[in-house]
Amino acid sequence: MRECYDIIVVGAGHAGCEAAMAASKMGSSVLLITMDMGKIAQMSCNPSIGGIAKGQIVREIDALGGYSGIVTDSSTIQFRMLNRSKGPAMWSPRAQCDRIVYSLHWRHILENACNLDIWADTVVDFGFSESNISEVLTSTGVKFKAKCFIVTAGTFLNGKIFVGQTSGVGGRISEPSSDTLTKVLQDRGVSTSRMKTGTPPRIDVRSVDLSRLIPQYGDDNPAKFSFLNFNSPIQAGVPQKLCYIAHTSPQVHDILKSAFHLSPLFSGKIVGIGPRYCPSIEDKLRTFADKDSHQLFLEPEGWNTNEYYLQGFSSSLPFDVQYNALRMVPGFENVHVYRPAYAIEYDYFDPTQLHPTLRSKVIPNLFFAGQVNGTTGYEEAAAQGLYAGVNAHNFVHDKEEFILSRDSSYIGVLVDDLVTKGVDEPYRMFTSRAEYRILLRQDNADYRLTELGYKIGLADNYRYSLCDRKYNNFNRLSKELEVTKPSLEDINPVLRVKGTSPLDSVKSLSSLLLRPQLKLKDLYSYVPRGTKASVSRLCKIPYNPDLSSDLNLYFSLPHISYLGSILRNDSILSEVLDSVEIYVKYAGYIDRELQLAKKIKHLENLEIPENFDYSKVTSLSMESRLKLNKHRPRNIAQASRIPGVSPADISVLLVFFGR
């Protein structure tokens, strides 16, 4: 153990794990401090990764060289690509995971990382040298010094748990909270407030009549998150687990409503703001009072456990009320509950007090990442952790700031939303938050970000070579589709079978692919043999342990060794074909968003002096002057996204700065 590190990360949740790995991988000495090494990257709520927009974030983390995608793939028990019925900008991967295996694999990665130490303890205080933090003090009296600090404490800062009229202190149920750090930072000028979240009961699936529920199956040909060419367990043939859908009823609702007066959510005991998009069951009954039924999702917690998670039944009501209501759900008449639903209230810090690097404007060598910034979800936390880890390393080593733009990634949208707009409820990423979502698809995250990850030292050589060869073949295949024109005799029978009108004159494969009835696989046989052979060779990139630290790490994970000789020979081919098809079919939309992004980029380049006094610009509205002085935007584009700053105010700023 050292006494002094480049970076200390406080908290080993999803944000802390990615932060510690990113900084250590880039060459910083890192100490990761966690209360419990058995709870590293704990999935406190639903043991799933991905979903709408969240799946895109995980693929971006992987493309940059992070580890959430790899760990998810290694612990996946069911995989589905959501929104397949919609356009490709909306396709979102989601994996149900084994909660224990997920945490175990993250611990294995951290314990075997270079430049990274772990300390099991609670941070109770910070030591300061002028305006900077100089050291942390732990509950055992041990001190550690560092040049830079990242706080990723999740829901543990003054965490308080509620089950009906009973409440207690805790960051998670049966786990202690951290009760001193908020005040230490608050006394230094960091703004703080309270938020609330909750989690549903855990159910013994043996006590549920599954025949009365609707089964949810995984995809027939499951994909995965990582762009590296390996099989996940379910791709290697391990059967996927089933999820189930249940429904509440008026009888269930009546029992819950009868106890609303006992809910701390309604009595005023909980003052924190809860998530609007993932409300408790009592919130749903009050907000949607006209609905007779709500969906519930019964989802497994792992491969070899009877414990299931009941998504949609989050609650802060007393346990006896929860239990009586659950027994009225069809199929749950004899239900056995392992653990009740509960609500948790915790401290978070105002993210508008952060630079776009997630570095504090108040304490120069302090970064925040994860739920302490007012977000919710493992994916948003992990993305912030990687972002903060990279920027903390660059800060310590006097390197250029790492900032992702809104047209480059959902991660860029997430961070910009936080530092520019702030939060008035727990922030969750949606595709609707991204104005360039046709550019930010889940299939092209490696195209957007892997080269950048390689340049900053996150993506390894093997990953970069894989991506480079993939998109060389992407370009070759795209060009072949433009110039290849099958004869009428060959193509018209195919068109008739697919239910689309035959041709009167020859057309290119790319123009044919614009027809909604046709997919690239229907036309692939007409692609010249040389191009197909080249793409097929791409799928046989040799596995070179000397070049592939991330792949070596994957194959060394517990429970994965039996897959060590299996590489996904068809994975890259499938990804290339999917990406080319999307690119051809949606080329017009893609070009339009690219042009719009270029226009907005112009505003990104119009920087505003750091200490500019907006109150002197009297032609700005009063609200705009107040908001701009509070948020301190770096450029005109960022100023335009601040709530309360109108287009007219932006025009005033452009004139003022002579633009």
Does some domain include residue 206? yes
Confidence of residue 562 (pLDDT cuts 50, 70, 90): very low
Report the alpha-carbon distance of residue 377 to residue 371 in Å, rounded.
8
CA distances from 84 to 52, 91, 130, 563 (A): 11, 6, 55, 29
Would the pLDDT of 564 be above 50?
Answer: no
CA distances from 602 to 388, 598, 608, 648 (A): 26, 7, 13, 18
CA distances from 640 to 72, 242, 437 (A): 37, 46, 19
Does some domain include residue 597? no
Q: Number of C-alpha atoms within 13 angstroms, CB side, residue 260?
A: 11
Q: Number of C-alpha atoms within 13 angstroms, CB side, residue 6?
A: 23
For 126, residues 6+ apart whose C-beta sits below 8 A from its C-beta are 133, 135, 136, 137, 149, 181, 184, 185
CA nearest to 150, candidates 270, 24, 288, 295: 24
Do 53 and 142 lie in one domain? The reply is yes
Report the alpha-carbon distance of residue 244 to residue 209 in Å, rounded.
11
Decide if 367 contacts 359 (C-beta within 8 A). yes
Question: Exposed e or buried b for every residue in 339-377, given b needs 16+ CB within 10 A?
Answer: ebbbbbbbbbbbbbbbbbbbbbeebebbbbbbbbbbbbb
Do 140 and 190 lie in one domain? The reply is yes
Q: Give residue 399's pLDDT.
A: 97
Do 165 and 275 lie in one domain? The reply is no
Q: Give residue 609's pLDDT.
A: 87
| φ, ψ dihedrals at 9, nearest 5° | -105, 125
CA distances from 367 to 28, 69, 71, 450 (A): 15, 24, 25, 24
Domain containing 478 — which CATH number?
Answer: 1.10.10.1800
Average pLDDT of span 353-382: 97
Chain CA centroid to CA 238, Å: 26
Would the pLDDT of 356 be above 90?
Answer: yes
CA distances from 178 to 157, 175, 367, 379 (A): 5, 10, 18, 23
Would the pLDDT of 549 be above 90?
Answer: no
Our count of domains for the chain comes to 4
**481-538 confidence digits (pLDDT tens):** 999 999 999 999 999 999 999 999 999 999 999 999 999 989 988 988 888 887 777 6
For 36, residues 6+ apart whose C-beta sits below 8 A from its C-beta are 120, 175
Would the pLDDT of 369 be above 80?
Answer: yes
Domain containing 609 — which CATH number?
Answer: 1.10.150.570
Does some domain include residue 62? yes
Domain containing 355 — which CATH number?
Answer: 3.50.50.60
Token output for 595: 């042009």
CA nearest to 29, candidates 1, 2, 6: 6
**423-475 confidence digits (pLDDT tens):** 988 999 998 888 899 999 999 999 999 999 999 999 998 899 889 988 988 99
Would the pLDDT of 94 be above 50?
Answer: yes
Longest C-alpha distance within the chain, in Å? 83
Do 416 and 353 lie in one domain? The reply is yes
Q: Give residue 496's pLDDT.
A: 94
CA nearest to 411, candidates 25, 154, 55, 11: 55
In percent, the amount of the chain with pLDDT more than 90 equals 67
DSSP tally for the chain: helices H, then strands E: 23, 20
Q: Give residue 337's pLDDT.
A: 97
Average pLDDT of span 272-291: 84
- Amino acid sitting at position 424: D
Do 34 and 182 lie in one domain? The reply is yes
Pairing of strands 48-50, 76-82: unpaired
Residue after which a domain boundary falls, among 433, 456, 479? 456
CA nearest to 460, candidates 225, 228, 232: 228
Average pLDDT of span 338-367: 96
**288-328 confidence digits (pLDDT tens):** 888 999 999 999 999 999 999 999 999 999 999 999 999 99
Average pLDDT of span 40-61: 95
Do 9 and 150 lie in one domain? The reply is yes
Mean pLDDT over all residues of the chain?
A: 91
Report the alpha-carbon distance of residue 103 to residue 94 in Å, rounded.
18
Confidence of residue 82 (pLDDT cuts 50, 70, 90): very high
Report the alpha-carbon distance of residue 132 to residue 473 in Å, rounded.
50
Do 509 and 409 lie in one domain? The reply is no
Q: Give residue 571's pLDDT.
A: 64
Residue after which a domain boundary falls, among 345, 371, 389? 345
Does some domain include residue 249? yes
Does some domain include residue 271? yes
Chain CA centroid to CA 305, Å: 26
Do 511 and 422 lie in one domain? The reply is no
* Exposed / middle / buried, residue 521 (Cβ in 10 Å: 0-12, 13-18, 19+): exposed
Does some domain include residue 60? yes
Domain with 336 in it: 202-345
Do 210 and 306 lie in one domain? The reply is yes
Average pLDDT of span 389-414: 96
Q: Give residue 546's pLDDT.
A: 66
Would the pLDDT of 560 be above 80?
Answer: no
Report the alpha-carbon distance of residue 427 to residue 417 in Å, rounded.
9
Does some domain include residue 562? no
Does some domain include residue 262? yes
Decide if 145 contacts 31 (C-beta within 8 A). no
Average pLDDT of span 349-373: 97
Do 207 and 179 lie in one domain? The reply is no
Residue after which a domain boundary falls, among 456, 474, 505? 456
Average pLDDT of span 394-419: 96
Confidence of residue 265 (pLDDT cuts 50, 70, 90): confident
Q: Tell me, yes or no, if the pTM score tops 0.75.
A: yes
User: Range with the lowest mean pLDDT among 21-35, 285-299, 386-400, 609-623?
Assistant: 609-623
For 289, residues 6+ apart whose C-beta sits below 8 A from its C-beta are none
* Exposed / middle / buried, residue 203 (Cβ in 10 Å: 0-12, 13-18, 19+): buried
**145-199 confidence digits (pLDDT tens):** 999 999 999 989 999 999 998 888 888 877 888 889 999 999 999 999 999 988 9
Do 383 and 446 lie in one domain? The reply is yes
Domain containing 310 — which CATH number?
Answer: 2.40.30.260
Do 71 and 162 lie in one domain? The reply is yes
Q: What 8-state DSSP symbol labels residue 433? A: G
Chain CA centroid to CA 444, Å: 16
